[in-house]
Structure 1
Amino acid sequence: MKLKNNKFNYFETLIIIAFWALLFASPLLFGRYESEIDWGHILNVWVSYLPLLGLFFINRLILLPKLFFKGKKISYFSSTIILILLLAIGIYFTRNRPIQKINPPQRLENTGSPFPRGNNLEKSPFQIQPLKDIPRPIPNYANFIILAVLLVGFDAGLQISMRWAKLEQEKSNLQKENVENQMAFLRNQVSPHFFMNTLNNIHALVDIDSEEAKTSIIKLSSLMRHLLYDSDDHFTSIKKEVKFIQSYIELMRLRFTNKVKIEVDIPSSIPDKSIPPLLFTSLLENAFKHGISYNHPSYIKIVMSFSDNALNFTIENSNHKKEKDTSSGIGIKNTKKRLYLLYGNSYILNISESKEKYVANLNIPL
């Protein structure tokens, strides 16, 4: 986040340097010089920019951070207007001079007197009169006020834009971190739950068949490797996830007799695409936990299919859920939260339940 904020600061600094460089270069770029550059005029223009430069630094370093961004907007605008007027008054008394014209001496008649005759007697040979024919340029103080308003507006707009961009970036980063934290929390809820259930299955198998128990431990090790390493990635290949599902089902088969019907229909041709890991773990756990009974006929049917832009996963099982089982909905609830964080409203999860069966159908985009 600091790196991105530094990029914003560099961008803002670059804009400011470019602005002032262009402003101070404007007399050289747009001036009309026939033979050589009039450095005296250019220096005079640069000196006239110094009040603007002072106003810029006061506005950027004091007025904006201390008043405007502290919520004291009335004080900010009042202080800015007063500062601009004070500088304009100073410019008026120091740099504003009326333009005057010195007329050449009038031709005198040879009368023997050094002074003109008649009405010209009271006039000096050198008449100083205001220039009336040539239009007057904009006074320095008025020109300063115009430039000052534009400069303050530019600086305020730049700082507001940069702060808004930083806030939006920080907001986006916080949302991303929040989603990642929630995702990690939900994954951590799935993994220990799955691990605990599988260990219980192996524990029940130890006294019955030690060789099968050893095989189950090896398979569990493979599954845990997937949980520990592959689940940390944001995406994993569909082939890896299918292999995980098949290994999980094989591990579960060791616990049950042939009376429990487990059907798996997964196509042999699997698209070379990626999906978030462990999307189907809670659905599998829920099916094996509540779909199997030693006293009643039980079955589990798993179907996975693919289209060009979607994956469809359906799991159906006989329903033997206990009435007082309050923990049965935790895994499904976490799955819904995770799907919403990953896909928003782009996924479809339909769950139907009756006394005889429980069906969950999940459709996600690829």
Structure 2
Amino acid sequence: MKKGWRIFCHILIWLGFIAFFASLARYSGKMTIHAVLVVFVLYGVINISAFYINYLVLIPRFLDKKKYKLYALWILATLIGFGLIKYGAGAFFKSEILMRTKGHETTFIKYFSNTLIITTIFLFLSAVLKFTNDWFLNERIQRDLENQRLSAELSFLKSQINPHFLFNSLNSIYSLAYQKSDTTPEAILKLSEIMRYMLYECNDNKVDLERELQYLHNYIDLQKIRFGDNAFINFDVTGEVTSQQIVPLLLISFIENAFKHGIANDASTPIILRIKVEDGHLFFFIQNKKHTHNRDSSGGIGLANVRRRLDLLYPGKYNLDIRDEADTYTCQLSLVL
């Protein structure tokens, strides 16, 4: 809340507070208009002054800095000082303040003790307000720091995807170039389209699911160029994908893993990839036969990355089941879009 608006709210609340109790006293018929103005307006200003001295000066200067003894001394001095100020005001307006109904004047001790109680209440209320504001402020700061930390972590995780993907794709294109394949230029063009999407089109927190699926198609096409006629993958998408959004680059690691560690050139055991969208949920399934001789220690980077991104971006909204069996590797993911 901006400072000017906050001051306006404080003034409005105090005016309402004074007007409410002054109206009750006036319509009760026991006090004259002059007495109401003295008791509720003058003493209201005095009590509110004590409130803000504690709120704006004493707590920040002493209590927040853990100078408890000094704070206690200043509170005691404030109580005595405002008690004397109130008694001086009462003596000035003796007929409205100090005189009782039977014509006897209230003693200094009794009046002073009553003012201490009222002043203590206002000091206590100011402390409650200060601690409440500080608590909410600290909570907001903690949330902001946590959001900044999560944002930095997500940026770092996302930055890992591009080099990881590029490393694997360049390996594939290098293999084609080494074989002097005529499909090398097409593979480079396909990689260029993929990198354009990764660099320029998926900078938002979420992207259109349809566009993300097109990116997956491009990646699979790039792998088919690499394998030529020996690439076998059953890729099936069902459901309404045009009106959905998803966190970008979330599914690619599973597909990369299947091509890198699986067998893609056997027609009898193709890579099976199914994506289904139903009632705002995405169901992802991929299965591949494993290369028993491929044990690349870096292969877990992508999947560890996607697990962490799911934890951060879809907390409590996803289920990931990975089954690493003797001959097959299966991943099933369901999440709320």
Q: TM-score, normalised by structure 2?
A: 0.82
> Match for 1:146: what amino acid?
I
How far residue 175 of structure 1 moved from its aligned partner, in angstroms, is: 1.4
Residue aligning to 1:112: none
Q: Could you list the per-position Cα deviations for residues 100-151 of structure 1 after superposition, in whole angstroms to 9, with x for gaps in the alignment?
A: 9xxxxxxxxxxxxxxxxxxxxxxxxxxxxx9884687796534532331222
**Which shifted more, 315-324 or 58-67?**
315-324
| Distance of aligned partners of 1:152 and 1:89 in 2 relative to their CA distance in 1, 3 Å threshold | same
Match of 2:287 among 316, 322, 345: 316
| Distance of aligned partners of 1:94 and 1:185 in 2 relative to their CA distance in 1, 3 Å threshold | closer
Match of 1:342 among 313, 320, 324: 313
| Distance of aligned partners of 1:28 and 1:308 in 2 relative to their CA distance in 1, 3 Å threshold | closer
Residue aligning to 1:16: 10
Q: Distance in 2 between matches of 1:46 and 1:143?
A: 18
Conserved in 2, the CA contact under 8 Å of 1:260 and 1:298? no
How far residue 294 of structure 1 moved from its aligned partner, in angstroms, is: 7.5
| Distance of aligned partners of 1:328 and 1:95 in 2 relative to their CA distance in 1, 3 Å threshold | same
| Distance of aligned partners of 1:285 and 1:133 in 2 relative to their CA distance in 1, 3 Å threshold | same
Q: Distance in 2 between matches of 1:289 and 1:323?
A: 9
Q: Distance in 2 between matches of 1:79 and 1:255?
A: 80
Instruction: Classify the secondary structure of the residue corresponding to 1:355.
Output: coil
User: Looking at CA atoms only, which structure, 1 or 2, has the larger radius of gyration?
Assistant: 1
How far residue 329 of structure 1 moved from its aligned partner, in angstroms, is: 1.2
> Match for 2:210: what amino acid?
K
Residue aligning to 1:67: 62
Conserved in 1, the CA contact under 8 Å of 2:264 and 2:270? no
Count of residues paired in the alignment? 329
How far residue 93 of structure 1 moved from its aligned partner, in angstroms, is: 6.2
Instruction: Classify the secondary structure of the residue corresponding to 2:323.
Output: strand
**Which shifted more, 338-347 or 199-208?**
199-208
Residue aligning to 1:247: 218
How far residue 72 of structure 1 moved from its aligned partner, in angstroms, is: 3.7
Conserved in 2, the CA contact under 8 Å of 1:351 and 1:361? yes
| Distance of aligned partners of 1:265 and 1:211 in 2 relative to their CA distance in 1, 3 Å threshold | same
| Distance of aligned partners of 1:268 and 1:64 in 2 relative to their CA distance in 1, 3 Å threshold | closer
**Which shifted more, 151-160 or 241-250?**
151-160
Residue aligning to 2:144: 173
Conserved in 2, the CA contact under 8 Å of 1:8 and 1:162? no
Conserved in 1, the CA contact under 8 Å of 2:209 and 2:242? yes
Listed as ranges, the matches of 1:191-340 within 5 Å are 191-208=162-179, 211-267=182-238, 269-292=240-263, 299-320=270-291, 322=293, 325-340=296-311
Match of 1:156 among 127, 132, 148: 127
> Match for 1:273: what amino acid?
Q
Q: Which runs of 5+ in 1 are unaligned?
A: 1-6, 101-129
Q: Could you list the per-position Cα deviations for residues 64-108 of structure 1 after superposition, in whole angstroms to 9, with x for gaps in the alignment?
A: 1122222344543453134203432454467448979xxxxxxxx
Q: Distance in 1 between matches of 2:166 and 2:246?
A: 22
| Distance of aligned partners of 1:99 and 1:284 in 2 relative to their CA distance in 1, 3 Å threshold | closer
More helix by share: 2
Residue aligning to 2:79: 84
Q: Which runs of 5+ in 2 are unaligned?
A: none
Q: Distance in 2 between matches of 1:229 and 1:98?
A: 76
Q: Distance in 1 between matches of 2:171 and 2:294?
A: 22
Conserved in 2, the CA contact under 8 Å of 1:350 and 1:361? yes
Conserved in 2, the CA contact under 8 Å of 1:234 and 1:276? yes
How far residue 173 of structure 1 moved from its aligned partner, in angstroms, is: 1.4
Superposed CA RMSD in Å reads: 3.6
| Distance of aligned partners of 1:253 and 1:58 in 2 relative to their CA distance in 1, 3 Å threshold | same
Match of 2:51 among 43, 48, 56: 56
